[in-house]
């Protein structure tokens, strides 16, 4: 596999990944993808370097956090 260097490559990997499980994702989670731990770590490293992600959007508020901040919050 080529080196992952940006978020566009991550999106391509996820959208093109082989699907496992049920033919349809009903109920949610019945269809899934499987990724190696090494690939997941590479993706996380790129995402943490890429800046921000929209976490929540409503009519009155948009909360934007860096992925690094989200991961730090999960570790606390």
pLDDT in tens, the chain (76 residues): 678 888 889 889 999 999 999 999 999 999 999 999 999 888 888 877 766 665 667 777 777 767 777 767 665 5
Q: How many residues does the chain have?
A: 76
C-alpha to C-alpha distances, 19 to 24, 29, 34, 39, 52, nearest whole angstrom: 10, 11, 8, 16, 28
pTM (predicted TM-score): 0.62
Residue 4 phi/psi, 5-degree rounding, is -85, 125
Q: Please give the pLDDT value at position 1.
A: 61
Distance CA 70, CA 74 (A): 6
pLDDT at 3: 85
pLDDT of residue 37: 92
Could you tell me which of 4, 5, 8 has the C-alpha nearest to residue 36? Answer: 4
Separation CA 35–CA 30 (nearest Å): 16
């Amino acid at each position: 596999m080529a080196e992952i260097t940006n978020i566009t490559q991550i999106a391509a990997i996820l959208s093109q990944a082989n699907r496992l499980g049920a033919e349809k994702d009903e109920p949610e989670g019945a269809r899934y993808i499987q990724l190696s731990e090494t690939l997941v770590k590479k993706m996380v490293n790129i995402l943490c370097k890429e800046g921000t992600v929209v976490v929540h959007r409503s009519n009155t508020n948009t909360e934007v956090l860096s992925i690094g901040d989200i991961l730090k919050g999960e570790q606390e």
